[in-house]
Amino acid sequence: MQQLTVELGERSYPIYIGVGLLSQAQLLTRHVRAGQVLVVSNETIAPLYLEPVLAACAHLQVDSCILPDGEKYKNLEVLNRIFDTLLERRHNRSTTLVALGGGVVGDMTGFAAASYQRGVDFIQLPTTLLAQVDSSVGGKTAVNHPRGKNMIGAFYQPRCVIADIDTLSTLPEREYAAGIAEVIKYGLIADSEFFDWLERHLEALQSRDGEVLATAIARSCDNKARVVSRDEREGGLRAILNLGHTFGHAIETWQGYGDWLHGEAVAAGMVIAAELSRQLGWLDPAVVNRLVEMLQLLALPTAPPPAMSADRFIELMAVDKKVLDGKQRLVLLQALGQACVTDEPTMAQITAAIESSRRYTG
């Protein structure tokens, strides 16, 4: 098992990465401060992994709340079911919420923990690759609003993250590949050595080789933890973690959540961001091609949806949280492994990059 720490002073917490971790009861319960636990999961994950988690907490009052599965249920109405269960089962302020699932369950459980009785503990047990390398770490919690993704939420850190790599064996291929998009993101924004390593190990990673997977998850979490430690509430630096996300969120909103996966939208978004960086003369064109080749090998989208116009992108991007004083802030690449946040590109340049990215179809 590997252990990393997200350094946030008295709110620092460990990330455990390894195999067979869900059946190590102690790992979970040592982070439960009192006698009540609510495990939140969904109807797909619960039949696979709920049992060992309930067993680990059998000496406590342990309840579960099983949500419907899907991004379309990541909303206030469904969130309320968590509060209903907490209140029905009389959970008090010392309860611990446990998020067993992917990013949707993790984000919703985290937000429920942030707001139930003004804040209770929570633990992340991520079961998708995306959640293990990104969403479970760093304390962003939220639900969607019909007008925008993750618009209602809070920064709220978990007590620990337990990433059991074994859970990834049941993850559908498409979900798994979408998670690799976020892994590649770390190489692009902050770790060119990791990008090179990923290129060399992409096929092993794609075939879920245990050792390669553990290295990729740990290196991703390490990169994320370092950024979060320096800028927890996204005053500046943390925004680099959103490479491709402003374009990606526009794609997701345009589709009404649920056609392309989040990681797929981010993959196409990263290509547009890299293409814009290239057009500005910042990024070596070879890097854009290397990125496109890696994503194509994974059968991930590398171009915007054909029916989505550049105007629609611009319109939807304007409601993203990255708009400040009317200027479109974007994460771009000054070089491989070196991201920056800028409002320099004009709308015409953004439009041109969206249009020219259309040629990278797989």
Secondary structure letter of residue 122 according to DSSP: E
Q: Is 140 in the site for ligand GLY (CB under 6 A)?
A: yes
244 contact, one of ligand GLY, ligand NAD, none, CB 5-8 Å limit per kind: none
What whole-number distance in Å separates Cα of residue 162 and Cα of residue 34? 19
| Residue 80 interface partner, choices ligand GLY, ligand NAD, none, CB cut-off 5-8 Å depending on type | none
CB of 71 or CB of 134, closer to ligand GLY: 134
Alpha carbons 72 and 334: distance in angstroms, whole number: 35
Give the torsion sign (CA, 250, 251, 253, 257). negative
Q: Where are the alpha helices (DSSP H) in 231-308?
A: 245-255, 262-279, 285-297
**Is residue 137 a contact partner of residue 103, using CB atoms and an 8 Å limit?**
no
249 is catalytic: yes
- The CA distance from 104 to 134, in Å, is 12
Query: In the annotation, is 145 catalytic?
Result: no
Q: Does 253 bind ligand NAD (CB under 6 A)?
A: no
Q: Which is nearer to ligand GLY, 182 or 275 (CB)?
A: 182
Pairwise CA distance, residues 340 & 350, whole Å: 16
238 is catalytic: yes
242 binds, among ligand GLY, ligand NAD, none (CB under 5 to 8 A by kind): ligand GLY
Instruction: Say what angle helices 262-279 and 285-297 make with each other, to 10 degrees.
Output: 160
For ligand GLY, give the closer residue by CB, 37 or 341.
341
Binding of ligand GLY at residue 238 (CB under 6 A)?
yes
Q: Are 164 and 22 in contact (CB under 8 A)?
A: yes
Minimum Å distance from CB 83 to ligand GLY?
Answer: 24
Binding at 109: pick from ligand GLY, ligand NAD, none (beta carbon under 5-8 Å per type):
none
Cα torsion angle, 242, 101, 124, 216, sign: negative
The helix/strand/coil state of 279 is helix
Among 15, 37, 40, 45, binds ligand NAD (CB under 6 A): 45
- Which residues are CB-neighbours of 71 under 8 A, at least 6 positions away? 104, 144, 252, 257, 258, 262
Q: Which is nearer to ligand GLY, 65 or 108 (CB)?
A: 108
118 an active-site residue? yes
Q: Mark out the alpha helices in 116-243 (DSSP H runs).
A: 129-130, 173-190, 192-206, 210-230
Residue selected from 31, 185, 238, 262 as contacting ligand NAD according to rule CB under 6 A: 262
Measured CA to CA, the distance from residue 301 to residue 292 in angstroms comes to: 9
219 has catalytic annotation: no
User: Which residues, 168 to 197, sit near ligand NAD by CB under 6 A?
Assistant: 170-171, 175, 178
Check 31, 74, 91, 140 and give the catalytic one: 140
Determine if 138 is a binding residue for ligand GLY (CB under 6 A): yes
Residue from 95, 124, 128, 246 touching ligand NAD (CB under 6 A): that is 128
Footprint of ligand NAD (CB under 6 A): 42, 44-45, 48, 69, 71, 74, 101-105, 107, 127-128, 130-131, 134-135, 138, 140, 150, 167, 170-171, 175, 178, 262-263
Q: Which residues bind ligand GLY (CB under 6 A)?
A: 134, 138, 140, 238, 241-242
